[in-house]
Amino acid sequence: MFRNAKAVFEEKEGDIMPTLAEQWIKQGIQRGLQQGVQQGTLRGTRAMVVEALRTKFNAVPTKVVKQIEKIDDTDVLTHLLRKFLHVRDMEEFKAALAQI
């Protein structure tokens, strides 16, 4: 294994470290972008649920907004939004939220 590493090192004329560093940097950037997209999607979905509630019921209790903001899964938020479509009032929505 040492011979293989040495051969690659000599073939690249000692440039193996910048190549590895560049790969790690690229991987870090990709992970950061992916996490940023996920966080943006999560925030947007939360905002969509709250805005839908405001549109239908005019006001959203602070406690409900805080509960929604604690949800860290877009699938759960999407499920909650689907439930929202079928509730008649805020109390019914609170009951659905309590089941999550």
The whole-number mean pLDDT for each consecutive block of 10 residues of the chain, a chain of 100 residues, reads 58 60 76 78 94 95 97 95 94 93
Check residue 10 and give its pLDDT: 60
Q: Which two tokens stand for residue 73?
A: 């899964």
User: Domain coordinates of the chain in residue numbers?
Assistant: 17-98
The per-residue b/e assignment along 38-72, b for 16 or more CB within 10 angstroms, e otherwise, is eeeebeebbeebeebbeeeeeebeeebeeebeebe
* Residue 77 buriedness (CB in 10 A; 0-12 / 13-18 / 19+): buried
Residue with tokens 């910048």: 18
Check residue 84 and give its pLDDT: 92
Check residue 16 and give its pLDDT: 56
- Specify whether the CB–CB gap between 33 and 25 falls below 8 A: no
Query: 0.85 cut: is pTM over it?
Result: no
